[in-house]
Amino acid sequence: MIGKLKGRIDSSGPDWVMIDVGGVCYQVYCSGKTLGALPGAGEFAEIHTEMLVTQDMIRLAGFATNGEREWFRLLQTVQGVGTKVALAILSTLAAGDLANAIALQDKAMVARAPGVGPKLAQRIVSELKDKAPAFAPADTSLSRLSAELNAPRPTAAADAVSALVNLGYGQVQAGAAVSTALKKAGDEPATEQLIRLALRELATT
């Protein structure tokens, strides 16, 4: 298995890069974000890889970080997500945004990726909600918010997110602001307090 390549950039295309390793060129398929992070032709690069083996061919997928590769593997555990769709999602959403979308069950954010319809987006956020935190930066307030949003009864945090969405903010943007508000509000904040703190946070971003 080829897990990492170190060499010089030979050439690149819309969704691939050719890396020269000691005179042998490897074609590696990448997300748009990984391609954007790589240097230009002739420059040295290091890229994490995943070997994809099918009956017809062997290909390499490449990632700027090991974390992005873990997300790629995780996404493909969802039925209907193959290599192309997983790379499309990683091209559209940064790892942190993807983690937030899953934690907040925001299928609309995931559905922004080409080839991801509403049903598949719902399946992704539902099936990965208990797995994604292992690959995302630890944020206890975000975990707390996720738990409250999925609680059987309405909570102050869920009501605050809903209120911000009604004001025109996106689900992930509202969720991130309320998550920050939870850090400052104490143990049992009221909805009005969370909305006020979240609006302050949104005003400074």
The per-residue pLDDT string of the chain (205 residues; one tens digit each, 9 = 90 and over) reads: 788 999 999 999 999 999 999 999 999 999 999 999 999 999 999 999 999 988 888 999 999 988 899 999 999 999 999 999 999 999 999 887 888 788 778 888 899 999 999 999 999 999 998 776 555 544 545 555 665 555 555 678 888 888 888 888 877 778 878 888 888 887 778 888 888 888 888 887 6
Q: Which long-range contacts (CB under 8 A, 24 or more apart) does 81-86 make?
A: 81/120, 81/124, 83/29, 83/52, 83/59, 84/115, 85/113, 85/115, 85/116, 85/120
Separation CA 10–CA 18 (nearest Å): 5
CATH architecture of 4-64: Beta Barrel (2.40)
Q: How are the residues of the chain apportioned to helix, strand and coil, as percentages rounded to the nearest 5?
A: 50, 20, 30
Please give the structure tokens belonging to residue 42. 């002739």
Q: Cβ(132)–Cβ(77) under 8 Å?
A: no
CATH 2.40.50.140 residue window(s) in the chain: 4-64
Separation CA 147–CA 49 (nearest Å): 34
Residues composing the chain: 205
pLDDT of residue 205: 63
CATH architecture of 66-136: Orthogonal Bundle (1.10)
pLDDT of residue 39: 92
Categorise residue 115: left if φ over 0, alpha if ψ from -120 to 50, beta otherwise.
left
Angle between helices 95-103 and 140-149 (to 10 degrees): 40
Separation CA 64–CA 35 (nearest Å): 8
Q: Cβ(63)–Cβ(72) under 8 Å?
A: yes
Q: What distances in angstroms separate CA 32 from CA 57, 66, 69, 133, one per listed residue?
A: 23, 16, 14, 23
Q: What distances in angstroms separate CA 20 from CA 8, 25, 44, 64, one per listed residue?
A: 5, 4, 9, 17
Separation CA 149–CA 133 (nearest Å): 16
CATH 1.10.150.20 residue window(s) in the chain: 66-136
pLDDT of residue 145: 61
pTM (predicted TM-score)? 0.68
